[in-house]
Structure 1
Amino acid sequence: MRPTDDLVEIEQLLARYAVAMTRGDVDGVLGVFSPDGSYSAFGDTYPLDEFPALVAAAPKGLFLVGTPLIEVDGDTATGTQPLCFVEHSAHTMRIGYYNDTYTRTGDGWRLRTRAMTFIRRNGDHDSGRPHAFERTRS
């Protein structure tokens, strides 16, 4: 595969994530991750089995993402992608960026890790309030 092909495939993977989140399509969101994938925010890391509850608890709206900066190294890659989320009812915004790792699988490129960093009005960059999402684990 040529490096440009890798970049286009990863960019399409990230587009699928944004569209699935906008549509509330949990299966679509899960489909962009490798089986050992995880998402980090709110001071914690969530494995894929917690995604349905995490996505259900997330505010609904439009996930606008920018072109990611990606560095490919063989069958792995890293990247950063800017995000502007617009909540659907009040049109309030959250801005920030994702720091990602990717892995090439038999089904193509997949997100392995995705970590959210929020940009606050005061200029601070952080991963969010701890416990913004209440886990239901026993």
Structure 2
Amino acid sequence: MVDTAAFEALIRRVDTLEAEASIVKVLFRLGMTLDYGEHDAWLDCFVPDASFQMVEVSETDRVVRVQHTSRDALAAFIPGHSHAPEHFHKHLVGDPVVEVDGDTATSTSYLTRIDKGADGPFLWSFGRYLDTFQRCDDGRWRVRSRIIEVESRAAPVKASDIGSK
């Protein structure tokens, strides 16, 4: 005889693990598609009314450098971001902590950007990603909001570094 309550609890745990794994894949896909200029695949990681913000933070200040509030705005932004083969860099995601609550989720993860330099690779910046996700009608998880907190960078930001014209 099957314990129905235990079986249902097992299904919930497996569903949560599958959701967490799917969300982590989206986190990785965001970096890979950005680094290689796969704009359509990058945009597909976001819901249509997604919000996106890049903020430089310090001990005493928060300066918003980029802010967009729709996938259409992101579509206008992303072609200006550097990518291979013109500029090689890697957006690395580390230590994601994902919390799933039904069809929504949050994630906090570390970011590290490594760039190709004249003397070899170097650390360009680090910080963290603060993301919220939505499970969409097609079953895929997509970003509803992304806040990128840049805590340190190798050089002052230029418009071309962040996709601005």
Q: For this structure pair, what is the TM-score category when the shorter chain's length is used for normalisation? A: 0.7 to 0.9
Q: What are the within-5 Å matches in structure 2 for residues 88-127 of structure 1?
A: 88-90=116-118, 91-92=121-122, 93-107=124-138, 108-120=140-152
For the aligned residue pairs, the C-alpha RMSD in angstroms reads 2.6
Q: Which residue of 2 aligns with 1:84?
A: 112
Following TM superposition, the consecutive aligned residue runs of length 4 or more in structure 1 with deviations greater than 4 angstroms are 131-136
TM-aligned CA deviation for residue 18 of structure 1: 1.3
Q: Which residue of 2 aligns with 1:70?
A: 98
Work out the CA distance in 2 between the residues paired with 1:31 and 1:40.
17
Work out the CA distance in 2 between the residues paired with 1:51 and 1:88.
25
Task: Tell whether the 8 Å contact from 2:80 to 2:164 is kept in structure 1 after alignment.
Answer: no
Q: What are the within-5 Å matches in structure 2 for residues 1-138 of structure 1?
A: 2-42=15-55, 43=64, 44-46=66-68, 47-60=70-83, 61-90=89-118, 91-92=121-122, 93-107=124-138, 108-120=140-152
Task: Tell whether the 8 Å contact from 2:47 to 2:71 is kept in structure 1 after alignment.
Answer: no
When you count helix as a share of all residues, which structure comes out higher?
A: 2
**SS class of match (1:19):** helix
Cα distance change of structure 1 residues 89 and 50 upon mapping to structure 2, 3 Å threshold: farther
Cα distance change of structure 1 residues 110 and 119 upon mapping to structure 2, 3 Å threshold: same
Deviation readout 1:99-132 (Å, 9 max, x if unpaired): 00000101211111111101127xxxxxx97x78
TM-score w.r.t. the length of structure 1 is 0.80
**SS class of match (2:95):** coil
**SS class of match (1:5):** helix
Work out the CA distance in 2 between the residues paired with 1:86 and 1:28.
21
TM-score w.r.t. the length of structure 2 is 0.68
Which of these two proteins has the greater Rg computed from alpha carbons?
Answer: 2
Task: Tell whether the 8 Å contact from 1:26 to 1:51 is kept in structure 2 after alignment.
Answer: no
Work out the CA distance in 2 between the residues paired with 1:5 and 1:116.
25
Work out the CA distance in 2 between the residues paired with 1:111 and 1:14.
9
**SS class of match (2:77):** helix
TM-aligned CA deviation for residue 64 of structure 1: 1.2
Unaligned stretches of 5+ residues in structure 2: 1-11, 56-63, 84-88
